[in-house]
Copies of this chain bind each other. A is one copy, B any other.
Amino acid sequence: MDLNFTKEQENFQIEVRSFLSDNLEPQVVEKVKNGIPITKEDSERWHQKLNEKGWLAGTWPKQYGGQEWDVVEKFIFEEECGSAGAPRIVPFGVGMLAPVLMKFGSQEQRDYWLPRMLTGEDWWCQGYSEPGSGSDLASLKTSAVRDGDHYIVNGQKTWTTFAQHANMIFCLVRTSTEGKPQEGISFILIDMNSPGIEVRPIITLDGSHEVNEIFFSDVKVPAKNLVGEENKGWTYAKYLLTHERTGNANVAVSKRKIQKLKKLADDAKKNEQPLSNDPMFASRLAQIEIDLQNLEITNLRTLASVENGEAPGAESSIIKILGSEIEQDIDNLTRKSLGKRAFVNEPDALSSGYNGAEVVPKAAAYASGKYFNHRKKSIYAGSNEIQKNIISKLMLNL
């Protein structure tokens, strides 16, 4: 058993830390630390700085502008970003589509689309879910019919994160209704500015606009935008989902949030004592802290097996369940720690345009909102129920 980083890994960690401290914008960090949504522009400026350093897509091969980071380097980078309150890299292009293009796309597709992800010319979104196809993704109905050099796409996608910002979408579409549902699915890239596409916002219960519905009416898509082979899209989609589920432990982010929560509880008073001294509060907090500490080791154990050449299996499902639930627990206790102040919902209180009364503590501006918004964490990216199905099938063989 050897749990230390190598000298090289330690040096890399120092380099990341110093880059972050030199380059992060304080007002963006403050938004992130208070859970306030950041703007598209905030993301774009950050992507650009990372790209200048070559770190926007650190796991990519060097030939495409990456650093060929291994799992530990990726882990170090993400944990340092999480600690520092850096904005999350928007994953749809560099983290999700790129691996698919590299493995299954044509050389022409790679050469054209990958550089544009780095420069920010394209903002990608993901067209997987449909109103009738959530957990049962293979039942999707959006159709693409070949018509000469084009496909004609009709149907509807939903829960599309940041579609309002995107100029491109990668979609799963039905190109055949024969055989099993999985066998008639293709993976295709669609220009969001094509005629026949309409994006409608879905406002979430906290009042945020992150996700959208997208309607496709006779949308013409060049046939060269098909990735890989027709009707093989399910394979590519599963490959992508495996990628999506790694790195969901979010240990550094949760640790940062616990520190913030502790500060809140030190400042709040219950029975004229700091709330942090209240035995029931302290017990709730300590249990979360221990769960998180355990998750940190569970996550490192998974990373270590990958580093030692073992394939990551359903372990990523364990990480997904724990990561999401622990973050929800923290959000829950944060809300509780604010007492009556938790009624407030003023997410704009940290924006420059806000002219309402000051929200004290600042965390209260969006604490309940974030608590409700983060209920999504156990629903999206394969609901925790689906993760339990996976564990049951792949790890327990039930």
Contact = CB atoms under 8 A, between A and B. Distances in A.
Interface string A278-293: 0110010000000000
A83 B102 CA distance: 73
Interface string A242-286: 000000000000000000000000000000000000011001000
A279 B279 CA distance: 7
A283 B280 CA distance: 8
A273 to B, nearest CB: 13
A280 B278 CA distance: 11
Contacts of A280: 279, 283
Contacts of A279: 279-280, 283
Nearest to A278: B279
Copies in the complex: 2
Nearest to A280: B283
Q: DSSP majority for the A interface?
A: helix
A283 B282 CA distance: 13
A281 to B, nearest CB: 11
A210 B298 CA distance: 43
Contacts of A283: 279-280
Nearest to A283: B280
A279 B283 CA distance: 10
A82 to B, nearest CB: 32
A398 to B, nearest CB: 16
A155 to B, nearest CB: 30
A100 to B, nearest CB: 38
Interface string A41-52: 000000000000
A280 B283 CA distance: 8
A2 B279 CA distance: 40
Interface string A115-135: 000000000000000000000
A62 to B, nearest CB: 55
A276 B82 CA distance: 43
A117 B208 CA distance: 70
Nearest to A279: B279
A32 to B, nearest CB: 35
A141 B280 CA distance: 53
A279 B281 CA distance: 11
A97 to B, nearest CB: 39
A280 B280 CA distance: 7
Nearest to A282: B279
Interface string A364-383: 00000000000000000000
A271 B279 CA distance: 15
A236 to B, nearest CB: 36
A267 to B, nearest CB: 22
A280 B286 CA distance: 13
A283 B283 CA distance: 11
A2 B361 CA distance: 48
4 contacts: A279-B279, A279-B280, A279-B283, A280-B283
Shortest 4 CB-CB distances between A and B: which pairs?
A279-B279, A280-B283, A279-B280, A279-B283
